[in-house]
Amino acid sequence: MSKQHRDVSLSRRTFCAGSVSLAALGPLGITACGGGSPSAQSPQGSASTPPPAPVTQARTFTHPGLLHTEADFARMRAKVAAGAQPWLDGWNKLLRTGHSNLDASPRPLQTVIRGGDGSNFGQLFIDVARSYQLAVRWKVTGDTAFADKAVEFLDAWSSTLTTVTGNSDRFLAAGIYGYQFANAAEIMRTYSGWAAADFARFQNMMLTVFYPLNHEFLITHNGSEITNFWANWDLCNMACMLAIGVLCDRQDVYDEAASYFLTGRGNGASSQMVPFVHPGYLGQWQESSRDQGHSTLGIGLAGAFCEMAWNQGDDFYGYDNNRFLAGAEYVAKANLSDASGNRYYLSMPFDTLVNRQGTGTAIAGGPLPHLRPVWEMIYHHYVNRLGLAAPFCAQMTAMMRPEGDGGGGDQLGVGTLTFSRDPLTANAAPSGLTARLVGGNVELSWWGTATASSYTVLRSPVAGGPYTTVAAGISGLLTYTDSGMEPGPYYYAVTAQTPTGNSAPSKEARVATAVVPHTVLQFSESQGTTVSDSSGNAHDGTLMNGAQWTQGRQGNAVLLDGVDDYIALPAKLVSDLADFTIALWVFWDGGSNWSRIFDLGSGPTHYMFLTPKAEDGSMRFAINLMNGWGDQALTTAALPTGQWVHVAVTLSGTTGTMYVNGSAVATNTAMTHAPFRMRSTTQNWIGRSQYPRDPYFKGKIDDFRIYNGALSAAQVAALAT
């Protein structure tokens, strides 16, 4: 790792999947957007939301510290002076863009319009590109003529621009050109020739013209249903907000964007921009069924967001086991062909994606590859900064090198000069190994190392080994399925074969191949609020809001009043489950549709629930990863009232089965949304819904069980006796 980041393990903030928003989140927060119909053609000016009032800051930002730090510029200067490649080619490309010359003059506008009549936004993005490229040219050469010209552009706009407007595209203008403009100014803040008052005026423009639109979009999504807008819309506004936070030393604004990345409901938040991660860590991108132009744009925007945060000490690149890298590799591969010219996208995994825009059933093809200069930043972070393998990003980077002008204003470009890094000299071990029971077999995935030629999978029945070699010479997609073992726990590790020999083994991943209890709540208590988990896994439940102990089917049960009682279960309860069983006894007193027997999730974005009666009159189990669109479900007749009924749901591979009183009543062979795909759920409830308007469950619950693995029909029948 470079000297600049040698202390990352000690100082860089990392975020686990399912973690709450940043502890220092300011007063703006993030709320779920409301419903309503799209109003894409409703022109407006700058958002009515006022800029945030100054608040006391708890952190000190690094400056310059958006896409580039002072250490980055030192590297560029040294490499260009030495004639080193690919930096020299990147430098020469910068000189040929036509945007870094001294012969242009600013063309500021009081009102910028994108979308609808009178669009004039080209004047803005061209001048943004000029100010940025002039700033980079100054930092590399030290020639203040370029600094003065960059400042001329920044001052002209900050003393003129008052409004960004148009149809819904105004939010794209505010997001894309806003984060880019902030980057130019962040570089120039180090120039002694930029007057403090002029810099302050530029900061004020960012806070009063750009930020309100960013904030408004993430809160309201232009008055539309939240999935009406694809990932890019959120991502550009998040990037601008994050950049403004740094530029203006506003932690509250920065944290608003960072919080949205972690827990936001829109399609640009981490779990929605990559809704599904397939074996081998191919992360299906949210816009992949739309087209590759928008998919690659999303990669560039998300990459910029992660890079800016990285330079402030926050590792969103690595969040949720490198979820963004999984998405970048997926999009890169979709744009490439194998050695025989066969398009990869035709055989890549794809889960049906459903949102307000419709249903996507496959990766969109069309003119490929879509060439967009965004790959150097991503490749050099994961491969040369961290030592991970990113083979498809590497191919896209090589195809685009040297990256030139952003073209059309969608990105800043010139990444070969600005982001290239020397590779690490040490060989890293494989990382991020996961092992899951899927269809009765063990499915492994891991992240490779940049210098590896192949990988070996190791297995042991004992933690720490000794290991047996299960498979060797694995290359290509980094996944392996192990089968045929006796029931029991197993421990896996992976090593990489590198030019200097075998790497150290990865961290172990444990998996149980037998169907074993995961959570067992027998409700045998008679007082207090704790429901003890007798599985030994410490998944105790908690009675909430006055839920009562009562006579159960055998022994005690819990009585829920249908008003506000429920049972809270621990966070991350099912994050390790692929194949599973959930079984329990239910005594339903009846009531309104959509009450929940159980609902495990993280709000309306990710959940799996069982309701005794849905709107269509059926008992329904469903799992959802897409903001309530595209349930994968099992249904049968509504749960009978006034009697004890045993209900169970199993999943083995992609086959889900529902049982009532020990008999199978529904099967679905296309259930790909296993519980682990919901990530680390934060709201796991018995008797309460993820949707606040749904009624609470009224009745009794007894003997709630979760198993790792799918029970057989005979085993379910035995539970129901």
Residue partners of 432: CB distance under 8 A and separation at least 6? 281, 321, 322, 445, 446, 447, 506
136, two tokens: 């980079």
Name which of 617, 597, 613, 618 is nearest 689 in CA terms: 597
Buried b (16+ CB within 10 A) or exposed e, 486-514: eeeebbbbbbbbbeeeebebbebbebbbe
| pTM of structure | 0.93
What count of residues does the chain have?
Answer: 721
What's the pLDDT at 425? 83
Cα distance between residue 315 and residue 305, in whole Å = 10
Neighbours of 618 (CB within 10 A): 17
Sequence letter at residue 189? R
Cα distance between residue 546 and residue 642, in whole Å = 22
Measured over the CA atoms of residue 221, residue 227, residue 228 and residue 229, the dihedral's sign is positive
Cα distance between residue 223 and residue 217, in whole Å = 9
- Tokens 């969109």 found at: 364
> Would you say 565 and 549 are in contact if contact means Cβ atoms under 8 Å apart?
no
Relative orientation angle of helices 251-263 and 211-220, to the nearest 10 degrees = 30
What's the pLDDT at 315? 98
387, two tokens: 């030592």
Q: What domains sit in the chain, N to C, each tagged with a CATH number?
A: 3-51+59-419 (1.50.10.100), 431-512 (2.60.40.10), 516-719 (2.60.120.200)
- Residues of the chain below pLDDT 70: 1-11, 16-52, 54-56
Sequence letter at residue 519? T
Name which of 264, 257, 313 is nearest 286 in CA terms: 264
Cα distance between residue 105 and residue 99, in whole Å = 11
Cα distance between residue 65 and residue 53, in whole Å = 23
Residue partners of 360: CB distance under 8 A and separation at least 6? 288, 289, 290, 350, 352, 353, 354
Helix, strand or coil for residue 91?
helix
